[in-house]
Structure 1
């Protein structure tokens, strides 16, 4: 199941995601991927974690990002977990409710390829739409 890390800006979501990824990498088999749109977090991750800075690519909406995720998985079927930090900013959306289609598509990838997704969103728990509530961590 897709897992959500939520909280207001500055609440430590990225640090939590980095800690999760590092712990996951140390305790599990398979490949771990961390996706962000900032280069500065690369040094905080274990060097065995594949870090992808999406600013290097031409991602401007949820459908393009979904295609990108398909390519990441197609390139390496050993991926077990993909962390996506600040998904709203990556896909250029202003409102968390606009993530419903992408969230549904990510669940399809999760089911088909047995890849776990952990997403961070800048929102209070009370702002999380119903379609995401089961994924709150």
Structure 2
């Protein structure tokens, strides 16, 4: 399942993502990973959640490499149950035009591996239309 949290920059998406992750980790039987752009503001994430800062992986600079990174995370940890991706468009060269293709591939990865994804996007919810978003849950 792919869950989306959309809104303009500064609308509190990161705080909401951290709250959701802290709630979700209690229900998860497997592992939960929280991907964010930098090491800043990680104190709000529970100690039992693995935080990965994408600044530590500067070679990942497009949607294909990001999807490969996610497959690599799963292949090294088959107990991976939930992945939170905070601020997707900050991590790499992914822009709003790339998001539908990325979401389509994320839905495929979710179905293949049984991972629930939670993704925050700096975009208006109304701009996220089309086939790629069918089957996604909007959290706002």
Show structure 1 runs of 5+ residues with no match. Answer: none
Superposition TM-score, scaled by structure 1 size: 0.93
Q: Flag as ranges the 4+ runs of structure 1 deviating above 4 A.
A: none
Matched, 1:6 2:6: yes
Aligned-partner Cα distance in 1 for 2:29–2:14: 23
Using the alignment, how far apart are the partners of 1:76 and 1:84 within structure 2? Answer: 17
The alignment's C-alpha RMSD in Å is: 1.3
Map of 1:35 onto structure 2: 35
**Secondary structure, aligned partner of 2:4:** strand
Structure 2: runs of 5 or more not aligned: none
Partners of 1:44 and 1:9 lie apart in 2 by 19
**SS at 1:18's partner residue?**
helix
1:117 has 2:117 as partner: yes
CA distance in 1, matches of 2:110, 2:40: 28
Please name the residue that 1:90 is paired with: 91
Cross-structure match for 1:44: 44
CA distance in 1 between counterparts of 2:134 and 2:104 reads 13
Give the superposition deviation at 1:28.
2.5
C-alpha deviations, 1:32-91, integer Å up to 9, x for none? 000011101322111110100011112111001111001111111111100001111212
Report the Cα offset of residue 27 of structure 1: 2.6
